[in-house]
Amino acid sequence: YRPFKNDRRPTNFDKKVLVWAGRFKKEKDIPKHVSSEVLDAARNSVRIKVCYIMITLTLLGCLAMVITGKEAAKRDHTLLRMNVEKKSKWRAEVEKDQEAAVGKPQ
């Protein structure tokens, strides 16, 4: 037990992390016991890669929103115009209801 004091038996997820971090080429190459330092370094490496991916996706999403917003502004498909149309529709419905209420004898 003494030689394996700082070593751990990697789980399936740990094996995937070790492979994706580039520590081993294949899951078959991973030994039965791996040191905690190697696992921590691999996790940190994968954590950094995931952060870079998330940053890239966020920037792409922002860019897509800017592009679609500019296209909508060119077509005059703005939130202000949509709200004005919705409110005018509601006013027309209220006027119809009031005319129907006035026209009905009680």
CB 76 within 8 A of CB 51: no
- The mean pLDDT value for 55-76 works out to 94
pTM tops 0.75, yes or no: no
Q: At 70, phi and psi to the nearest 5?
A: -70, -40
R_g of the chain computed on alpha carbons: 31
Q: Where are the alpha helices (DSSP H) in the chain?
A: 12-20, 36-74, 79-103
To the nearest 10 degrees (0 to 180), the angle between helices 12-20 and 36-74 is 70
Q: 36-57 pLDDT, tens per residue?
A: 888 999 999 999 999 999 999 9
Across residues 54-82, what is the average pLDDT?
A: 92
Q: Given this model, what pLDDT does residue 3 score? A: 62
Distances (CA, A) of 25 to 15, 35, 46, 57, 82: 11, 17, 15, 27, 56
pLDDT at 12: 92
